[in-house]
Amino acid sequence: MVASCRGPDVIVMGGGPSGATCATLVAQRGHQVTLYERERFPRYHIGESFMPETYWVLRRLGVLDQLKSSPFVKKFSVQFVSETGQESQPFYFFEINPHESSQTWQVLRSEFDELLLNNARKHGVQVHEGTRVMDVVFEGDRIRHLRIQHSDGREEMVWAPVIVDATGQSSLIANRLKIRRPDPRLKKGAVWTYYQGAYRDPGLDEGATLVLHVAGKQGWFWYIPLHHDIVSVGVVSSIEYLFHNRGSHEQIFYEEVERCPAVQRRLACGRRVSGFFATRDFSYKATRCAGPGWVLIGDAFGFLDPIYSSGVFLALKSGELAADAIVEGFEKGDLSGMQLGKWAPQFVRGMEAMRKLVYAFYEGFNFGRFVREYPQYRRHIIDLLVGDLFKEGVEEVFEAMRRYVDLPETETVAIC
Ligand SMILES: Cc1cc2nc3c(=O)[nH]c(=O)nc-3n(C[C@H](O)[C@H](O)[C@H](O)COP(=O)(O)OP(=O)(O)OC[C@H]3O[C@@H](n4cnc5c(N)ncnc54)[C@H](O)[C@@H]3O)c2cc1C
């Protein structure tokens, strides 16, 4: 087998939201892009609730009309339910912005991801499904080639001037270079399933994401209404609490449902329509995001926590920012790590704002009471909940929050 020197300008590893976004936006600018995805779509994936700020990337990708005419449930708000069952006022996203971008969607990821991948194809991306990247072979700081395996077992060495890692939690490059760091405090796990016919609030709140505390605040449930009358419902807690000396995933799930009467009531009129899923240790970040001829995006760079549904937004956003840096890099003849990762400092500042909000939640911070006491910060909180993480001044809310809760210092990331 000989490594081929002729080929595409860009190879994207992974065809989830970050990879499809980056590939599409680079191809839109006339570059040859090849994408390798190990699965065949449609394939199952968790991560169904969106933040409104996804709108702008989805618009640039040209898929808004498809989303608007899709059966995906419209999401206008998020609502928190205390361990005693007390419901906060819904945080309606349009409160701060009456634009159509304030409405977002709850999606079946198999359908959404396929839509984005087909859109990449439409824009000229060469998509190879059922093709797994087996290894990323480095020579110093540069990638010498990728070893890929096609679905028929055939192996091939491939290379391009720019390699984008969008392999999600597999984080191929970050693991290879041992630069992936778990979050020191967010050692969480999740167990989830799907119900049909479970209760939904009426009207505008029908598509709301609910975040419901379990008694003793040991954990929380997500409750995400999807189309076909399906609800995605899952519990998140510390790995130790959720999995140590516990039974099957089914037992864990139902024990936690018993500790959360607000979820129990909602599920009572529905029936379970899937088995149980579980995952753990999903919060981490790479210590750098790029090198000469390579860049990390989406979960392959880092993932925070499911609590505010920020994962897909950050995947789309990093895919977009990396695509712009790649296109500019080709124009300038500069494919250095500094160029390919130039977007990272600002992006990580936004991610860090979200991380503080995540820590505050797990420290038991009461957002409802906070905005009642400091109504001037309600807007900032909603800005963060919609995903407007990069806005000037939004961070001042953390100064006020620090009076009540221990928040982490802002971390930075090396570009390369
Ligand atoms: C419990 C839980 C709940 C979540 N809930 C939400 C939510 O409600 N809202 C939200 O926005 N986010 C949520 N997320 C996060 C969300 O799932 C991710 O942030 C998002 O999918 C990241 O997109 P991505 O494109 O970076 O990676 P992925 O969507 O994971 O895509 C990566 C792709 O790479 C492919 N791949 C992997 N390895 C290889 C390889 N070696 N070769 C070729 N292809 C490969 C995979 O098959 C996959 O298709 C949740 C996460 C967890 C853990």
In angstroms, what is the span from residue 179 Cα to ligand 1's centroid? 19
Tell me which residue of 45, 53, 56, 59 sits closest to 17, measured CA to CA: 45
| Residues 6 or more apart in contact with residue 53 via CB below 8 angstroms | 101, 313, 317, 386, 387, 388, 389
Q: Identify the domain containing residue 196 by its residue range.
A: 73-106+188-280
In angstroms, what is the span from residue 400 Cα to ligand 1's centroid? 33
Shared domain check, 266 and 173: no
Shared domain check, 407 and 264: no
Shared domain check, 134 and 63: yes
Shared domain check, 120 and 266: no
Structure tokens at 47: 């991560």
In angstroms, what is the span from residue 18 Cα to ligand 1's centroid? 9
Closest C-alpha to ligand 1, atom 13: 47
Shared domain check, 360 and 310: yes
Shared domain check, 206 and 77: yes
Calculate ∠ Cα 315-318-323, nearest 5°.
Answer: 120
Shared domain check, 290 and 162: yes
Q: What is the pLDDT of residue 378?
A: 86
Q: What is the pLDDT of residue 6?
A: 53
CATH code, domain carrying 406: 3.50.50.60
Distance CA 312, CA 385 (A): 13
Shared domain check, 20 and 122: yes
Closest C-alpha to ligand 1, atom 49: 16
Calculate ∠ Cα 398-402-403, nearest 5°.
Answer: 130
Domain boundary (231, 248, 280) is at 280
Shared domain check, 391 and 364: yes
CATH code, domain carrying 215: 3.30.9.100
Distance CA 203, CA 273 (A): 25
Q: Which atom of ligand 1 is nearest to the CA of 41?
A: 49
Contact 296, 290 (CB under 8 A): yes
Place of tokens 């070893």: 147
Distance CA 368, CA 389 (A): 20
What pTM, to 2 d.p., does this model score?
0.96
Kindly tell me the burial class for residue 217, based on how many C-beta atoms sit within 10 Å of its own C-beta (0-12, 13-18, 19 or more).
Answer: middle
Shared domain check, 133 and 8: yes
Domain boundary (280, 315, 347) is at 280
Shared domain check, 328 and 376: yes
Contact 49, 106 (CB under 8 A): yes
Shared domain check, 78 and 64: no
Closest C-alpha to ligand 1, atom 26: 298
Distance CA 134, CA 142 (A): 17
Query: Could you list the mean pLDDT of each consecutive 10-residue stretch along the chain, which spans 416 residues?
Result: 65 98 98 98 98 97 98 95 87 89 97 98 98 98 97 96 98 97 93 98 95 92 98 97 95 97 97 98 95 98 95 98 98 98 94 93 86 89 90 88 87 76
Distance CA 5, CA 22 (A): 22
Contact 37, 53 (CB under 8 A): no
- Of all helices (H) and strands (E), which one includes residue 279? strand 277-280
Domain boundary (228, 262, 280) is at 280
Place of tokens 């790590």: 337
The total number of structural domains in the chain stands at: 2
The dihedral formed by the CA atoms of 149, 163, 343 and 298, expressed in degrees to the nearest 10 = 0
Q: Which atom of ligand 1 is nearest to the CA of 167?
A: 34
Q: What is the pLDDT of residue 366?
A: 83
In angstroms, what is the span from residue 217 Cα to ligand 1's centroid? 27
